[in-house]
Copies of this chain bind each other. A is one copy, B any other.
């Protein structure tokens, strides 16, 4: 009887477990933030060398801190950078617009937990499968190295766009 009750309980839990299992997790334990496209936009960006057009968004903590000019950003700040293959607009070729999805990257602020990499945890998820980048947790050194030239801006390349 105990087993039947337990089976029923586990049966009820399955949809929740399956849903949690669907969220990709980077080798350093950072899971994809599924709501990044509903966060406020921080800036657009275009990388001609890769042919990628990007949007950087931030959660409420990050956006409020950036608007307030805080540096470094407080713990709990998360930034997302989503990239698409750029293409010419079929009806207006002088405009470069997003095509296929390339990847989404996150920077997660926790000064203590990620002390070795400027207080930031990094994660990248590739393609439509959102495949976690990196063979093991050491992949973050590659991310951090690239962000070192902007250490003075709390390791962020992105600045909040200015509007009147």
Contacts and interface: CB of A to CB of B under 8 A. Distances in A.
Interface stretch (A10-18, A70-78, A86-94, A136-144): A86-94
Interface in A110-164: 127-130, 149-150, 157-159, 161-164
Nearest to A84: B161
Interface magnitude class on chain A: 35 or more
Oligomer copy total: 2
A59 interface: no
Contact of A44 (B53, B92, B163): B53
- Judged by DSSP, the binding face of A is strand
A115 B101 CA distance: 36
B40 A161 contact: no
17 contacts: A37-B161, A44-B53, A44-B54, A44-B98, A45-B89, A46-B46, A46-B53, A46-B97, A48-B96, A49-B94, A55-B161, A92-B150, A97-B157, A97-B158, A98-B162, A101-B163, A127-B164
Interface of A: 37-38, 40-41, 43-50, 53-55, 57, 82, 84, 86, 89, 91-92, 94-98, 100-101, 104, 127-130, 149-150, 157-159, 161-164
